[in-house]
Chains A and B, each alone.
Chain A
Amino acid sequence: MASEKIRKVVEMSGISIDLRVGKGRGRKSWSLSRLGTRFWSWFWFILGALYFLLPLYATLNFSLRMERDVIGFKAYIRAFEDPEFLKTFLYSNVLALLTIVASIILIVPTAYWIRLRLPEARRIVEFITLLPFVVPAIILVFGLIRIYSSPIKIPFTDATLFQPLTTFEVGTDILIVAGYMVLGLPYMYRSVDTGMRTVDVRTLTEAAQSLGASWFTIIVRVILPNIRAALLSGALLTFAIVVGEVTLASFLGVPAFGPYLFLLGQHRAYEPAALSFASFLLTWVAMGLIQLFTGGQGQAAGAH
């Protein structure tokens, strides 16, 4: 009776434990049940993997068949040869890096302060970070254009604070980075917040304070290194969003990779597929690098 209860609890928790305490029949039915559980686990895993891998395989297969009846890399060669590709890709990469840096500067101290001093504000901030899921990018970009396409004046005076941001290149870059920060907010905030949850932020802060550390030292030397895996995940997601983003880049008229890929897709068939697969590989390389550099050590250490 007791072993039956234990078996149920173990089954519910999804943990595989061999309870070799029962006699013949009980053990046999237990083994069968365990086999059943394993079968279904694998079934769902394979189904899920196929859901992701099949379209990927189709894209790869298509991108390799630019020449009739020949499998080759012609689509890749032609895509990479286009000078616009490198230009737009590098530009989007720079935008992505700027977005990541600006997001970290904004989000890490915010999430840190909420964990440390303002836990009651967490719900409000979480709601704000979810807004980009609800408010479409088109609304965001029109809002940005509407506000920043005319000079910003100091209230109640005629003095101009700054010229319309949409009228010069750096201004537009600032706008688009700000827009990307909003789009990446849910991913970056959640990654950072989850990272902070795995380390005891409050006690580590107090320990550092008692050793004489300032707030800046605590964030740079204690908090950031201990959430680096979370930061890298957030950075990767932000990077993926920025590099492929079309709406903001198109309406703000910047030469980014997203609109380039979109235009290419309208005129060519094989090159966009090749570039999509290449960007997927790039993402996987980045994820591999995250694993390589973090190795789970920084985060896992906090749990001990």
Chain B
Amino acid sequence: MSYLSISHVTKQFGDAVVVDNFNLDIEKGEFVSFLGPSGCGKTTTLRMVAGFEIPTSGKILLDGADITDKAPNQRNVGMIFQSYALFPNMTVAQNIGFGLRVRKESEAMIKQRVDEMVSLINLEKHANKYPYQLSGGQQQRVSLARALANRPQVLLLDEPLSALDAKIRVSLRAEIRAIQKSLGITAIFVTHDQEEALSISDRIVVMNVGEMEQVGTPFEIYNFPKTRFVANFVGSLNTADAEVVDPAKGLVSMDGVQFEAAEGTDARKKGDKVKIAVRPERFSFASEQKKANVVDCTIENITFLGAVVRIQVKIGNTKFNMDTFNNPFLELPKIGAKEQVTCSKEAVLVLDE
């Protein structure tokens, strides 16, 4: 049996169904991210696990116990908020020790645990400072330590990095993941940032308008999106209208240009309207070794993005982006030049129109 089980959970606010029949089993020590655009129901689902919202129907089981209707302070669940939510009237040490004081632990135990937590987040020198004397990143680390001090069964993180600048965000997410792994704590992380979700999670739940679109490892979600929404939402994607030419061979035609796909055509018949999708990094300039999906194109534009160079090419009447890693010796084609690009047949995703 799974450690945290969210079973057939639906949440309605008035007539609006915000979360619809959500089912998810999470194993102990697993790090799961809820990824989706604003209003997709990810935060509401998290808040139902925290106890701040009660599901309209369905059950939430934690370590076998039904916590669906339990008050938030009766669940042993730690929560981290986007706005840090540190108590402004308390120092770092007092914030971290708050939950332990509520539980009426001994002062010696509280001190020991606070010291442990302060050292875990490397803020030993700041233990007696007030939240307003800390940077955003430091405040969020204190928030993490405060949530962990109570040894919660599940750690819930509600867009904890959204208010931080890009560099701190990257370093803090690595820190969160490292601490979560070292403590072996089960965690649910809500984000709308796909890069964050992909880099930090064991599994990702992609959500859209209250429903789960796909659950899988970051690798599966990125490389094998099951729906058009997931394909579009996670990573960049080139899409174009196409028509099935030969379902058995996986051939589809876009503006008369043929692409061969590894899968996705078996259940279709000749003449079916579909969308083909190819990630920009799956294209490359054609060389002699690569024989599949070699197509003519014209170079339309070149954009330097730092580590990546994005080349816009026109295949038939459709513009596609092609990403290639930057290096100082990269020879880039001229704009307007006629070239050939290629991608493997596995790179061509055939989606519903």
A residues engaging B (CB < 8 A)?
199-200, 203-204, 206-214, 217, 221-222, 225-226, 228, 297-298, 300-304
Contact = CB atoms under 8 A, between A and B. Distances in A.
B73 A213 contact: yes
A204 B73 contact: no
B85 A207 contact: yes
A206 B79 contact: yes
A184 B14 CA distance: 39
B132 interface: yes
Contacts of B85: 200, 203-204, 206-207
A169 to B, nearest CB: 40
Contacts of B51: 209
Given A199-B88, A226-B88, A301-B132, A212 B150 contact: yes
A297 B91 CA distance: 12
Interface size class on chain B is: 20 to 34
Interface of B: 50-52, 71-73, 77-79, 81, 83, 85-89, 98-99, 102-103, 130-132, 139, 143, 146-147, 150, 156
Contact of B83 (A203, A208, A217, A226): A203
Q: Interface residues of A: mostly helix, strand, loop or mixed?
A: helix
A195 to B, nearest CB: 12
B89 A214 contact: no
A197 to B, nearest CB: 14
Nearest to A297: B130
Given A200-B83, A203-B81, A206-B52, A211 B88 contact: no
Nearest to A198: B88
Contact of B103 (A209, A212, A221): A212
Which 5 pairs across A and B sit closest by C-beta, in order of nearness? Answer: A301-B88, A211-B99, A207-B85, A304-B132, A210-B79
Nearest to A303: B132
Given A206-B52, A212-B103, A297-B132, 19 more contacts: A199-B88, A200-B83, A204-B85, A204-B87, A206-B72, A207-B86, A207-B143, A207-B146, A211-B98, A211-B146, A211-B150, A212-B73, A222-B87, A226-B87, A297-B130, A301-B88, A301-B89, A301-B130, A302-B88
Contacts of A213: 73, 98-99, 102
Nearest to A204: B85
A300 B102 CA distance: 25
Contacts of B78: 210-211
A210 B72 contact: yes
Contacts, number: 80
Nearest to A203: B85
Contact of B89 (A210, A211, A212, A298): A298
Contacts of A222: 87, 89
A301 B139 CA distance: 12
Greatest chain B CB density within 10 A among A203, A211, A226, A304 is at: A211
A206 B78 CA distance: 11
A300 B79 CA distance: 24
29 contacts: A200-B83, A203-B85, A206-B72, A206-B79, A206-B81, A206-B85, A207-B79, A207-B87, A208-B87, A208-B98, A209-B51, A209-B52, A209-B73, A211-B146, A211-B150, A212-B73, A212-B99, A213-B98, A213-B102, A221-B98, A222-B87, A226-B88, A228-B89, A297-B132, A301-B88, A301-B132, A302-B88, A303-B132, A304-B132
A298 B98 CA distance: 17
B50 A210 contact: yes
Residue of A199, A214, A304 most packed against chain B (CB within 10 A): A304
A150 to B, nearest CB: 45
B156 to A, nearest CB: 8
A304 B131 contact: yes
Contacts of A212: 73, 99, 102-103, 150
B91 to A, nearest CB: 11
B73 A214 contact: yes
Contacts of A228: 89
Contacts of A207: 79, 81, 85-87, 143, 146
A65 to B, nearest CB: 49
Given A206-B85, A298-B89, A211 B102 contact: yes
A279 B85 CA distance: 41
Contacts of A221: 98
A217 B104 CA distance: 12
A212 B147 CA distance: 11
Contacts of B89: 222, 225-226, 228, 298, 301
Nearest to A225: B89
Contacts of A298: 88-89
Nearest to B87: A222
B232 to A, nearest CB: 32
Nearest to A213: B102
Contact of B72 (A209, A217, A301, A304): A209
A216 to B, nearest CB: 11
A209 B79 CA distance: 10
A226 B156 CA distance: 25
Contacts of B147: 210-211
B89 to A, nearest CB: 4
Nearest to B86: A207
A209 B72 CA distance: 6
A281 B222 CA distance: 71
A211 B150 CA distance: 7
Contacts of B98: 208, 211, 213, 221
Contacts of B146: 207, 211
A212 B73 CA distance: 4
A15 to B, nearest CB: 23
A204 B86 CA distance: 7
A213 B95 CA distance: 13
A298 B91 CA distance: 11
Nearest to B77: A210
A75 B147 CA distance: 62
Nearest to B135: A304
Contacts of A214: 73, 102
